[in-house]
């Protein structure tokens, strides 16, 4: 448990990462900054289920309300916690099964979501940045098999089923990468991806899963570090048109909007880390992420004076996970989890 007494402090609009298996004194102090509202964990923060449970507990104990604890834990190649956790399939595997049997694929997607959520919640993680709602155009290596399918209806069906499973496991869902990263070839971790399509083309296909999932109760959305020059001069994560006009007004989304990592090269065109954060928040993001760059994180906290709005605080509060049995061992007595786990482990082979 934390040596620092729990401090009453509203959630701020910044999500940071930490270096290792436990918090050091500098990280504890940084997480008490009023602009901080959450922590994202990575593979470097994971040794085993007991260790990551202690880390999440320690983070939660720092403040009241507790800081949000998140992770990128999609399945396939993007699964941060492995040893001791169920190895989840890439989403493309569910898409291939969908081509054979949509009903069977959606049932399995539900089970994957349930296993994902139950296991993370048992270790104290509030939510995963999942599911990926991008379409598989066969163009984006960074998306690739993280996408369910090329067909927007198939993506919407499978993602809706997975979200239902997440909710059964006590976890809100955060869809990404709005309005769609699958058509742009470049990897936003290392370059600025550009999608030259018109708004009408994007709306007809890529927005279909987002519209469907918003109606199904999606609690969070992460925009893409992708530029759509025929639509707006700003990348989606800095665009009032995409985040306010389209997402808030046309799609009527009332959940949390997260920026993607502002340390990624695709975000650098907006200037300094403080400039990037201000631009993302001004465009409509409720929370901005700064990962893998402690110097940038410290600079942002020194330079940002903005705190969460009342509406943003309410949206962030909805992302705390529901209570679940503590520890993975306790899940063995949970019938919904054990049934879902059996289905995932015994899933049909799809080539």
In a domain, 77, yes or no: yes
Q: Which of 74-88, 121-135, 256-270 has the lowest mean pLDDT?
A: 256-270
In a domain, 183, yes or no: yes
* CA end-to-end span of the chain: 46
Q: Domain limits at 118?
A: 7-345
- Total domains in the chain come to 1
Question: Is 260 part of the annotated catalytic residue set?
Answer: yes
Domain of residue 42, CATH code: 3.20.20.300
Tens of pLDDT along 222-276?
A: 999 899 999 999 999 999 999 999 999 999 999 999 999 998 765 556 689 999 9
- What pLDDT does 329 receive? 87
Distance of CA 72 to the CA centre of its chain: 6
In a domain, 334, yes or no: yes
218 vs 256: CA distance, rounded Å? 9
- What pLDDT does 110 receive? 98
Question: Is 33 part of the annotated catalytic residue set?
Answer: no
- What pLDDT does 266 receive? 55
Tens of pLDDT along 320-338?
A: 999 877 888 889 889 999 9
Catalytic residue among 58, 260, 261, 286: 260
108 vs 328: CA distance, rounded Å? 21
- What pLDDT does 190 receive? 66
In a domain, 351, yes or no: no
In a domain, 350, yes or no: no
314 vs 286: CA distance, rounded Å? 10
In a domain, 339, yes or no: yes
- What pLDDT does 265 receive? 64
In a domain, 1, yes or no: no
Using alpha carbons, list the distances in angstroms from residue 184 to 131, 138, 155.
19, 10, 18
Catalytic residue among 151, 187, 189, 293: 189
Contact between residue 154 and residue 197 where contact means Cβ atoms under 8 Å apart? no
Burial of 51 (0-12, 13-18, 19+ CB in 10 A): middle
């Amino acid at each position: 448990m934390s040596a620092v007494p729990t401090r009453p402090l509203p959630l701020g609009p910044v999500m940071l990462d930490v270096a290792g298996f436990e918090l050091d004194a500098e990280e504890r102090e940084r997480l008490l900054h009023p602009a901080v509202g959450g922590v994202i964990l990575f593979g470097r923060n994971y040794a085993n289920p007991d260790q990551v449970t202690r880390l999440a507990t320690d983070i939660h104990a720092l403040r009241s309300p507790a800081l949000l604890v998140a992770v990128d834990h999609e399945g396939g190649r993007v699964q941060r916690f492995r040893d001791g956790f169920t190895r989840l399939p890439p989403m493309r595997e569910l898409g291939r099964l969908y081509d054979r049997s949509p009903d069977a694929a959606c049932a399995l997607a539900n089970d994957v979501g349930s296993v994902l959520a139950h296991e993370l919640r048992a270790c104290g993680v509030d939510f995963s940045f999942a599911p990926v709602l991008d379409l598989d155009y066969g163009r984006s290596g960074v998306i690739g098999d993280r996408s369910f399918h090329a067909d927007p209806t198939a993506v919407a069906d499978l993602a809706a089923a997975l979200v239902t499973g997440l909710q059964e496991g006590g976890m809100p869902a955060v869809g990404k990468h709005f309005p769609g990263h699958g058509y742009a070839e470049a990897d936003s971790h290392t370059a600025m991806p550009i999608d030259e399509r018109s708004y009408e083309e994007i709306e007809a296909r890529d927005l279909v899963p987002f519209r469907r999932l918003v109606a199904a109760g999606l609690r969070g959305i992460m925009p893409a570090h992708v530029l759509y020059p025929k639509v707006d001069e700003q990348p989606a994560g800095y665009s009032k048109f995409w985040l306010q006009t389209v997402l808030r007004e046309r799609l009527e989304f009332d959940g949390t909007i997260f920026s993607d990592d502002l340390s990624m090269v695709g975000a650098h065109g907006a200037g300094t880390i403080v400039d990037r954060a201000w631009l993302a928040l001004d465009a409509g993001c409720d929370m901005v992420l700064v990962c893998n760059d402690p110097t940038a994180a410290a600079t942002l906290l020194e330079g940002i004076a903005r705190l969460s709005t009342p509406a943003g605080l309410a949206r962030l509060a909805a992302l705390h996970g529901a209570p679940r049995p503590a520890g993975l061992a306790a899940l063995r007595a949970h019938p919904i989890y054990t049934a879902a786990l059996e289905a995932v482990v015994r899933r049909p082979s799809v080539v």
